[in-house]
Structures are given as structure tokens and as C-alpha cells.
Structure 1
Amino acid sequence: MLTEQRKRHLLSLLKQDGRIVAKSVAAGLGLSEDTIRRDLRELAAEGLLQRVHGGALPASPAVGTLATRLSIGAADKAAIGRYAASMIRPGQTVFVDGGTTAMQLVNHLDHRLMATIVTHSPLVAGALADHAVDVLLIGGKLFKHSMVSVGVAALRAVSEIRPDIFFMGVTGVHPTAGLTTGDPEEAAMKRAIADTAAELVVMASSEKIGAASHFVIAPIERTDILITPAGTDQDSSTQFTALGVDVRRV
């Protein structure tokens, strides 16, 4: 089997099974594991999959540019944002992450709600300018990919806040790979906020379910509530539920 044929076969298996086990594929094709691992490395370099120990998982498309991400799963993100916004109660202090799904939360927030919104996203803060909520904007080094503050100053500010809920965005949600994102500083920021929040609510559109990125935020079991589209695969939802996650398909 030629290299390109093998790669097409690997991508077909990934689409069909949601994962690749290098040892099993090598045995099935009568090839060495080194050959399959080399193919996986090259496919990962093209952004077509995410390598993990022993094989590969689907790569999240949510690591693209902000403009690209705005066009992915727009209806799903609107539904998630609407549901997330309905969870916020008067008087609460909540932390809203950056990203396209977080912007949908803001778009569906009751303008009259009296609460405190903490965010490290200048886009989220700006969108709340005509709302009744108090807005606390965390500063730091601007990570332009997601338009959020990261770094030492941002982490220090976060350590002094105890939000009732953290509405977190991710690029990947997987039962074994956990909650992941594409940048180490962003992962550290999300982890720090999650560690101080009373409740962690993860907002994940369908393309992020079963996918993985390079940097781990936390194990999936750390999630209190996972908000995902109504069309999310039932088997995936069952896997998360079995791990103690409250899955809300909206």
C-alpha cells in the first residue's frame, strides 16, 4: 500500500471510529508500527488529526482563526449560548470565557439582569456595555487568536476571584483526552479560573465533541455541566454521563 493510500485509509478509520490505534492498524495492514506512526506524524503536521499516546484522535477545527470559527456551527453555538445565558441568576458573579460561543451567551443575556460578569475577553466586555450587569475585565497579555488576556498578571487577578460559575469554551472534549485547547497559556488561564469557580460549565459545539488539541486544561470529570447541541451523538453523551458529567443537550 502506497503512502497516500495508507493516509486515506487512516483518515477513513478516524472518521468511522473516532480514533486510531496504531498497533491495531499496523497489524491489520501487515506493516510496522513505525510506518503507521510516521504517517500519523505527517497527517498531524497537516492539521488533519491529533496524535495521542498509541494513536490519534480527530483534530479540533476550533483552533482556526476567529473569523473561521465564527462560521463553524453557528446555529449550535447560538443554542448553547441561549441556554447558558438562562442559567445566570440575579446577584451571581460569573466568569465568561472568550471565544465565539461565549459571544453567543452575551448575545442572549437579558439586558436587565443585575449580576456581575467577570471576563478576560475585551470583546465580551465590550458587548456588555449596554447591559445592566457590572463588568470586571481582567487584563494581561492579549492572546489574539481568542482575543483574551493571558499571562502572569491575568493569572494573579484570577486567583483573587471566586465566581459562582465559570462558562468555559474549549477546542476539544474527549472522555480520555479530557478538556483541551490549542495554546499552553490559554490552557493555564482556563485551568486557573476553573480552580477558583464553584461550578464549571463547559460549552462545546458538536465539532469539539470527541476531538482533542495539544494542551490539556483538565480531565473531563472536572466538568460539572456540559452544554452541547441536541444533535450530539448519543453514545458520546452516554460516555460523559458515565464519568459523572451532567450533559445538557440543547
Structure 2
Amino acid sequence: MLKKERHDFVMRQINLHNRVLTSDLVHLLNVSEDTIRRDLQEMSDDNLLYKVHGGALSKSYHSSFDDSTVYAKDAKITIAKKTIPLIKDGMVILTGGGTTIIELVKQLPENLMATFFTISPLVAVELAKYRKIEVILIGGMFSKNSQITYGGHVISQLSEINADLCLLGTSAIHPIDGLTDTDWEINQLKKTMLSSSRKSAILCISEKLNISLRIKVASLENISYLITELEPEDLQLENYRVKGLRIL
């Protein structure tokens, strides 16, 4: 595979998942770890991504958050607006991180009165702009790859919450395999968040449909809402119609 083809593939993965791991790229591209490291360094030097230990992050995933670098921004805004009616005054809401969740927070009603627990410092910063929202950032070890807190202490805190609604992005969703990811620690967080909430909504651009990764998070039957930028009747969503899952 030519260098340009590798770089294009890496950017595709970055755009879809906001992050890539060196180990995954080695496997997917069937090249050496040194080759991937050189590719990521070159792409970092070209200001295409942020190189971190063990992989790379999207430019839009960095703490200096820049709206202009958000991939599929219009689709994520559409998803955010479709999610807003699920959020009511007085709710306790649990959120993950990621650019789709941040776009959602930016669309919240100005006078919303609710309590948000989050494992994402970036989401917490956006939530703090709302005068009537109580923001609780769950602390622990910080993942440079995923930009969220993680670890046993975080899982312990999450397990004590009884949230009305859990809002999560996803790296991949598949009609048979359900929600999947590549990071064991992050998967444990997501499983705990889902089990700590009465209802759950997965916010997902349609490009992540029909993708299955290595580690399972949850079956479709364990999700309350699937929210994409597509119309609910779109044929791409036909295989996702399972008992208990509402498509918005």
C-alpha cells in the first residue's frame, strides 16, 4: 500500500472514531509499527492530527476545541437537535465524551434545569456555560487517547448513579453485533453507564452503521434510542429495528 493510501485510511479512521491506536493500524494495514509511527508523525507535522502515546487524536478532539475541524458537523448538529426532546427539566443525565456529545450540549435549551454527570472534561466545560445545569465531572485517570476519565474509581462512582438517561457516542454499531469498540477500559465504562441509567440513547452518524469492532459493549436490545442524521424510515436503518429500540 502506498503512503498516500495509508494516510487516507488513517484520516478515515480518525474522522469516524476521533482517535486511532497504533496497534490497530498495524493490524488493519498489515505494516510494521515503525511505519505507522512514521506516518503518524508526518501527519502530525502536516497539522492533520495530534500524535499521542500509542496513537493519534482528531484535531477536533483536542482541548483547544475548534469547531472548524469537526468531522460531519452538520450531521452531528442534526443528531443533537433530534436528541433534545428526550431531555427534560429535573432529569439526571449521564454522558460520555466525543464531538457528537459536545454538539448536543451546545444545542441544549438555555434555561434547562438538570443534573449532568460526565466522564469528559471537554463536555463538562461546555455544560458549565449553562446557569441552571449542575455539572458533576467524575474524576479518575485521564485517557489521552479518548479524552475521558477511566479506571476502577470511575466505574465505582458510575455504578452508584441512578440516571434517567444515558447519552453516548459510539465507534461502531452493527445490527447483529450491537455496540462495539476496541478499548477494553472504555468498554467497561460504557457498560457501567448503560446499566446505571433507566434509558439510553446512542448518538451516531450513519457512517458508523454496519461496523463491528473487537469488543462488545451492548446488544441493540439494551438500548432505548438510536439517533442518526437519517430519517427514521431510511432503508439503511431497517436492520436496526429490534424490540425496545426506538429509532429517531
TM-score by length of 2: 0.72
Structure 2 unaligned runs (5+)? 2-23, 31-54, 62-68
The answer on whether the counterparts of 1:66 and 1:145 sit within 8 Å (CA) in structure 2 is: no
| SS at 1:130 equivalent | coil
After TM superposition, give the deviation of residue 44 of structure 1 in Å. 5.0
Partner of 2:149: 149
Is residue 185 from structure 1 mapped to residue 185 from structure 2 by the alignment? Answer: yes
Contact 2:206–2:230 under 8 Å retained in 1: no
Task: Answer yes or no: is the 8 Å Cα contact 2:120–2:147 preserved in 1.
Answer: yes
Aligned-CA RMSD value: 2.6
Partner of 1:119: 118
Q: Distance in 2 between matches of 1:145 and 1:75?
A: 24
What is the aligned partner in structure 2 of residue 65 from structure 1?
57
Matching residue of 1:83: 82
Instruction: Describe the superposition over 1:6-50 as per-residue Cα deviations: whole angstroms up to 9, x where unpaired.
Output: xxxxxxxxxxxxxxxxxxxxxxxxxxxxxxxxxxx9995218xxx
Q: Say whether the 8 Å CA contact 2:223–2:245 is kept in structure 1.
A: yes
If the length of structure 1 is used for normalisation, what is the TM-score? 0.71
Provide the rounded CA distance (Å) in 1 between the counterparts of 2:220 and 2:27.
23
Change (3 A) 1:208 1:64: farther
Task: Give runs of aligned pairs for residues 235-246 of structure 1, distance below 5 A.
Answer: 235-246=235-246
Larger Rg: 1
Aligned to 1:128: 127
How far apart in 2 are the matches of 1:73 and 1:231?
A: 16
After TM superposition, where is structure 1 displaced by more than 4 Å over at least 4 residues in a row? 41-44
SS where residue 164 of structure 1 aligns?
A: strand
Distance apart, 1:178 and its partner CA: 1.1
CA distance in 1, matches of 2:177, 2:185: 18
Give the whole-Å Cα distance in 2 for the aligned partners of 1:178 and 1:65. Answer: 25
Q: Percent identity?
A: 27
Aligned residues: 195
Partner letter of residue 77 of structure 2?
A
Structure 1 range deviating more: 71-80 or 168-177: 71-80
In 2, distance between residues paired with 1:123 and 1:77?
Answer: 16
Shift, 1:66, TM fit = 3.0
Deviation string for 1:173-203 (max 9, x for gaps)? 1011210123111111000010110001111
Query: Does the aligned pair in 2 maintain the 1:86–1:109 contact within 8 Å?
Result: no
Q: Tell me which moved more, 114-123 or 234-243.
A: 234-243
Residue 112 of structure 1: how far off its partner (Å): 1.3
Gaps of 5+ in 1: 4-40, 48-62
Q: Secondary structure at the match of 1:198?
A: strand
Equivalent positions of 1:36-47 (< 5 A) are 45-46=28-29
